[in-house]
Amino acid sequence: MEVYICKDEEQMGRVAAEHVVKHLLGKPNPVLGVATGSSPLTLYANLARMQDEGIIDFSKMPAFALDEYVGISIDHPESYYQVIHRTVTEPLRMDPNLVHVPNGRADDLELAAKQYEDAIREAGGIDVQILGVGTNGHVGFNEPYTSFYSRTHALPLTSQTRKDNARFFDSIDEVPTAAITQGLGTILDSGVAVFVANGEHKADAIAQLVEGPVAVRCPASFLQLHSEVIVVIDEAAASKLKDREHFFTL
Ligand code: GLP
């Protein structure tokens, strides 16, 4: 695990984007895994800049989102289908036909989950997976106590996660109660995982992800078992780390 502690969110986005691009450029047919949330926004802005500078081309690159709410309309501005379109597909000028989001509207969610796994496999697997972390340690929508071996699946959301995400909706009652997400096993299969997190409210989750024991109550801690994980955070998110001498302070 490589941990980079940045001065601020802007530097976090730049450093994370450089890692993402470096690993994508090393692949003949790269596949990108993308995440929603506010944490990766400066990362995406830097990916767009690097594309403008001619360093990388996203126009033919397949992408897979981590998750989607169950039961939300595809037109809802907070459906992850729309969020990914707005924050990733458009700014990175990706081909919308190549950007995949799990289908949270399917009558048969188990089948939709299986089809999503098949699509990832047929694309050759995810080379670089961008990740954020929930305040309760969730990754994608893998809530505490999700199995380490889980593949894409539907599950109920915890009250903590619904509370955290209420800021995107008019009221907490409008936040969906369930989601479909790549499993922890799916995420662990990615070639490189690049985590971004900023703000003091992420400090506990980051401490558990980086230094804490691997435990089902904190899904992010399973990423300690990933073969190549890069954690890029700001000072506030790093504030509960103890082993600072092992990490890069920028
Ligand atoms: C959501 C998403 C996660 C994301 C998390 C953190 O619940 N399902 O993939 O990492 O929120 O979001 P933010 O970056 O806005 O704090």
Residue-averaged pLDDT of the chain: 97
Return the residue whose CA atom lies nearest to atom 10 of ligand 1: 132
The ligand 1 atom at the shortest distance from the C-alpha of residue 165 is 7
Q: Residue 98 C-alpha to ligand 1 middle, in angstroms? A: 22
Q: What does the pLDDT look like over 145-157, one tens digit per residue?
A: 999 999 999 999 9
pLDDT at 26: 86
pLDDT bucket at 219, cuts 50 / 70 / 90: very high
How many of the other CB atoms lie within 10 Å of CB of 164? 18
Residue 237 clears pLDDT 90, i.e. is over it: yes
Tokens of 54: 């001619």
What is the best residue among 39, 72, 190, 232 to mutate for testing ligand 1's pocket, by most ligand atoms within 8 Å of CB? 39
What confidence score (pLDDT) does residue 177 get?
97
Q: What is the layout of strands, in order, in the sheet containing 99-100? A: 99-100, 63-65, 32-34, 128-131, 192-197, 229-234, 2-6, 248-249
Give percent of the chain with pLDDT exceeding 70: 100
pLDDT in tens, 7-57: 999 999 999 999 999 999 989 999 999 999 999 999 999 999 999 999 999
From 133, 172, 233, the mutation candidate for ligand 1 (largest count of ligand atoms within 8 A of CB) is: 133
Atom of ligand 1 nearest to the CA of 197: 14
How many whole angstroms from 222 Cα to the centroid of ligand 1? 17
Q: Atom of ligand 1 at shortest distance to CA of 35?
A: 9
Torsion of CA 81, 204, 249, 188, to 10 degrees: -50
Sheet architecture: strand order including 67-69: 67-69, 178-181, 153-156
CA 143 – ligand 1 centroid, Å: 11
Residue 60: per-residue pLDDT: 97
Predicted local confidence at residue 75, as pLDDT: 96
Q: Which residues are catalytic?
A: 67, 136, 138, 143
Whether pLDDT at 158 is above 90: yes
Q: pLDDT tens-digit profile of 172-213?
A: 999 999 999 999 999 999 999 999 999 999 999 999 999 999
- What residues line ligand 1, using a CB cutoff of 6 Å? 35-39, 66-67, 132-134, 140-141, 161, 165
Phi, psi of 20 (to 5 degrees): -60, -50
Q: How far is the CA of 109 from the centre of ligand 1 (A)?
A: 21
**Which atom of ligand 1 is found nearest the CA of 161?**
7
- The pLDDT, as a whole number, for residue 156 is 97
Provide the angle, in degrees to the nearest 10, between the axes of the packed helices 41-52 and 9-25: 50
- Residue-wise pLDDT for 54-91, tens only, equals 999 999 999 999 999 999 999 999 999 999 999 999 99
**Interval between CA 37 and ligand 1 midpoint (Å):** 4
